[in-house]
Amino acid sequence: MLIKKKTGIEIPSSEITPHSIYLNRRNFMKGAAAAAAGSLLAACAPGSNDPAATSTAVSPTIAPPTAAASQTTGGAAAALPPRPEADELGDPLNSFEEITNYNNYYEFTLDKEEVAQAAADYPTSPWQIEVGGLVQNPGVYDLDALRGFDQEERIYRLRCVEAWSMVIPWLGFPLAKLLNEVEPTADAKFVRFETINDPDNMPGQRSAWFEWPYVEGLRLDEAMHDLTLLATGLYGETLLPQNGAPVRLVVPWKYGFKSIKSIVRIDLAADMPRSLWMAAAANEYGFYANVNPDVDHPRWSQGSERRIGERGRRRTLMFNGYEEQVAHLYDGMDLRVNF
Ligand SMILES: Nc1nc2c(c(=O)[nH]1)N[C@H]1C(S)=C(S)[C@@H](COP(=O)(O)O)O[C@H]1N2
Ligand SMILES: [Mo]
C-alpha cells in the first residue's frame, strides 16, 4: 500500500483548492493515471480485468433476505510528495466526486446516489468517541484529541459486499495508536464499534428492518493491524457526512460494511460482538467478512466486482489484494466456516 506521512490535519480553508478547480484537476489527473495504469497493469496486476467474469446477475443490494480532495498548497504542505495517481497495483484512484456521491449509509437512505444529499446537513461537530470496556485507561476523545494523532494518507481499495469497489485516498491514523493509549487488558479479545444513535436526524434509524445503532466488531489482532485505520478525511480534506464524518473505521481487506461510520463508542470485550449485519442475516454477513473470491454470498458471486468508473468487471482479489499483509491472521482457520 502507499503510505504518505503527514503531521496534523489542521488545514486553513484558505489553503484548500476551491472545489471547482479541484474537480478539474482531478479529471486531468485521472486521464494521466489511466494512461500510466495501462502500462502498469500488465506487469503488476495480470488478469485484474477479466471480461469473462462479466455477470448478468442483477445488481445485489446489501439487505436482510426478508427486506427488500484537494492537496494543500503553500506552507509546510507544499513539501509533501505529490499524491500518487494510482494504488500499488497500478489502478487509478476514484475521483472525489465518485467517492462522495455513491455511498452506503443506511442511517440516511438505502439509495447510494441519495446519501450525499440526505446526509449533507448532518452535524458532525462537536463530537466525541468514548473508549472503554476491558481497558486500563478508558477515555473520551473529542475531535481535537483525534486530530492530535499524526494523520497519514493511505490509498486503499474499498470492496463492498455488493460487488462494487473504489480506490480511495483516506486521511487518518492507525486504530492501534488509540488502542495502545487505552491499554487493552489481558482479557480483551475483541473490539466493538458503535455508530451514533440519532433517529431524530437519521431517518433510516426509524426503520425497523435493522437493530440500531449500527454495530461492528474486529478481533483484537485485526484491530491492531497497521492497515486498520480510523479515517478523518479523504483526498486531504475533512471527511464529509456521507463518508462517515467525523470519524469512521476503514478495514481494507474486509467487505465495506465492516468499515463503520460516525463512531461514538469503542469497547474492548472478551466476547465476539454481534454486528448489525449479523443480527439482520447471520447466514449472509459473517463476523469476519474478509474479501474472498472463493466464498460466494448466498445470493450472488463474489468472484468478480465492478470498479466504479470502469466498464466491465474485474476479478476480485483474495483479501482484496492485501493477502501478503493479513493472511497470517487467519492461519489454520476454515474461511468457509469463518466467513
Ligand atoms: N454506520 C454505518 N456505517 C457503514 C454503513 C452504514 O450503512 N452505516 N455502510 C457500510 C457499507 S455497506 C459500505 S460499502 C461502506 C461505504 O463507505 P463509503 O460510502 O464511504 O464508500 O460504509 C460502511 N459503513
Ligand atoms: Mo458495502
Residue 168 pLDDT: 98
Span from the CA of 238 to the centroid of ligand 2 (angstroms): 22
* Nearest protein Cα to ligand 1, atom 21: 103
Span from the CA of 281 to the centroid of ligand 1 (angstroms): 17
Rounded CA gap, 163 and 281, in Å? 18
Model pLDDT for residues 261-306, shown as the tens digit of each residue: 999 999 999 999 999 999 999 999 999 999 999 999 999 999 999 9
How, if at all, do strands 263-269 and 128-133 pair?
Answer: parallel
Span from the CA of 241 to the centroid of ligand 1 (angstroms): 11
Q: Which domains does the chain show, CATH number per domain?
A: 8-330 (3.90.420.10)
Residue 74 pLDDT: 36
**Could you identify the atom of ligand 1 that is nearest to the CA of residue 249?**
24
Residue 60 pLDDT: 60
**Could you identify the atom of ligand 1 that is nearest to the CA of residue 204?**
7
Which ligand has its closest atom nearest to the C-alpha of 258? 1
153: cell is: 494518507
For the chain, what percentages of helix, strand and coil (3-state, to nearest 5) are there? Answer: 25, 25, 50
Residue 82 pLDDT: 85
Phi first, then psi, for residue 38 (nearest 5°) are: -55, -40
- Helices in 190-303 by DSSP H: which ranges? 220-224, 276-281
Q: Scanning the structure block, which residue is given the C-alpha cell 466504479? A: 308
Model pLDDT for residues 272-283, shown as the tens digit of each residue: 999 999 999 999
The enclosing H or E element of 34 equals: helix 19-44
Residues in the chain where the model's pLDDT stays below 70: 1-80
Pocket-testing residue among 259, 263, 306, ligand 1, by greatest number of atoms within 8 A of Cβ: 259
Q: Which residues pair with 263 in a beta bridge?
A: 195
Pocket-testing residue among 95, 96, 104, ligand 1, by greatest number of atoms within 8 A of Cβ: 104
Span from the CA of 257 to the centroid of ligand 2 (angstroms): 5
* Nearest protein Cα to ligand 1, atom 12: 257
Residue 246 pLDDT: 98
Rounded CA gap, 251 and 70, in Å? 23
Task: State if residue 195 touches ligand 1 by the CB under 6 angstroms criterion.
Answer: yes
Q: Scanning the structure block, which residue is given the C-alpha cell 433517529? A: 199
pTM: 0.81
Span from the CA of 186 to the centroid of ligand 1 (angstroms): 31
Span from the CA of 42 to the centroid of ligand 1 (angstroms): 32
Residue 79 pLDDT: 52
